[in-house]
Chain A
């Protein structure tokens, strides 16, 4: 079962996100009100250690589990889509207290009403696909 490792990685992710309360609507409100270091600490630590991991992978040309080189693709060098898309994302993030991962984690935790948020998110993704050609990028 080659897929099992991804399920296990997802399980660990779900546990991390709930046990550190990063899936909490309240914690997201606290972050956007700058009233606790908690969420900044989580994201900051993840970015600093993540950058270190990427640096080491590149420096020592570490291979993946299949023996292939680990490749990093650069993001497209546009600007408008990142800023406008990011802004729209942020509005929804603060409203629902959840980005895409935590929506699903919350369903598992027992907040079944997040199914509605997921339906909205899938619809939003589809809507973007429809309008892509008409939007500035």
Chain B
């Protein structure tokens, strides 16, 4: 059983499990949306005194913060108990494309060139910080992220969520095909 779990999970298992998490949270009387936590963190830090978006009782969002803590633990369990040393099976075409923009595929989840703690150059810090900034700003502006819009919103057939998801993809395509080839070789 443990050996089965250690292998990379196929897309259908994962897709079904994500839908199950969404349904489970609905059964608990909550709504699956991860980026709300970022707003809650701002509120906890006292941002509500100055900015109305953060002026709410963050304790009502404690459940989502616990979900966040659990997700960190889940990552830890995958890296230890369920660790699999086989390299990630990335499409050959992607390996070639990434090589062309200076990223060498290392078989891990994320390229050490960008995310390795030892290769934390000034350039990488700027990339990580500004990437995070765009995600945080964009998710709150759009009123949700992949979980809130692509999963919860589309499941509830919300047209605004479809607009947001189209935006997510348009932004991702622009970054991947036009901006990354400019940014990475700097």
Q: A9-B25, A81-B141 known; A94 and B163 CB under 8 Å?
A: no
Interface SS, B side: helix
Tell me if B29 and A106 are in contact (CB < 8 A): no
Tell me if A54 and B156 are in contact (CB < 8 A): yes
**Chain B residues with CB below 8 A from A76, complex form:** 143, 160
Q: CA A7 – CA B94 in complex, angstroms?
A: 35
Per-residue contact bits, chain A 35-58, to B (CB 8 Å; 1 contact, 0 not): 111110111111111111110010
Interface residues of A in 9-65 (CB under 8 A from B): 9-33, 35-39, 41-54, 57, 62, 64-65
Q: CA A83 – CA B141 in complex, angstroms?
A: 9
Q: CA A70 – CA B5 in complex, angstroms?
A: 32
Contact of B151 among A27, A50, A97 (CB under 8 A): A50
Q: Can you name the residue of chain B whose Cβ is closest to the Cβ of A121?
A: B136
Count residues on chain B whose CB falls below 8 Å from chain A CBs: 125
Interface assignment of B102: CB less than 8 Å from any CB of chain A: no
Q: CA A10 – CA B160 in complex, angstroms?
A: 26
* Closest Cβ–Cβ distance, residue B77 to chain A (whole Å): 6
Tell me if A7 and B143 are in contact (CB < 8 A): no
Q: CA A6 – CA B34 in complex, angstroms?
A: 13
Interface residues of B in 120-140 (CB under 8 A from A): 120, 124-125, 127-140
Q: A20-B11, A29-B94, A122-B42 known; A10 and B71 CB under 8 Å?
A: yes
Q: CA A19 – CA B67 in complex, angstroms?
A: 18
How many pairs of A and B residues are in contact by the CB < 8 Å rule? 496
* Closest Cβ–Cβ distance, residue B68 to chain A (whole Å): 6
* Closest Cβ–Cβ distance, residue A35 to chain B (whole Å): 4
Q: CA A105 – CA B88 in complex, angstroms?
A: 17
Q: CA A118 – CA B151 in complex, angstroms?
A: 21
Tell me if B142 and A125 are in contact (CB < 8 A): no
Per-residue contact bits, chain B 14-39, to A (CB 8 Å; 1 contact, 0 not): 11111111111111111100110111
Tell me if B172 and A93 are in contact (CB < 8 A): yes
**Chain B residues with CB below 8 A from A6, complex form:** 28, 30, 63-64, 66-67, 70
Count residues on chain A whose CB falls below 8 Å from chain B CBs: 114
**Chain A residues with CB below 8 A from B130, complex form:** 92, 95, 120
Tell me if B131 and A95 are in contact (CB < 8 A): yes
**Chain B residues with CB below 8 A from A94, complex form:** 171-176, 180
Tell me if B158 and A75 are in contact (CB < 8 A): yes
Q: A6-B28, A57-B26, A121-B135 known; A113 and B128 CB under 8 Å?
A: yes
Q: CA A94 – CA B169 in complex, angstroms?
A: 9
Q: Beyond A51-B156, A94-B180, A95-B130: 11 further Cβ-contacts under 8 Å?
A: A14-B77, A26-B88, A33-B94, A42-B14, A43-B150, A46-B14, A50-B18, A79-B163, A97-B110, A99-B139, A108-B76
A-B contact pairs, 15 of them (CB 8 A): A3-B63, A9-B24, A15-B82, A32-B175, A45-B15, A87-B170, A88-B138, A90-B172, A91-B174, A91-B179, A93-B146, A103-B135, A106-B110, A107-B75, A129-B52
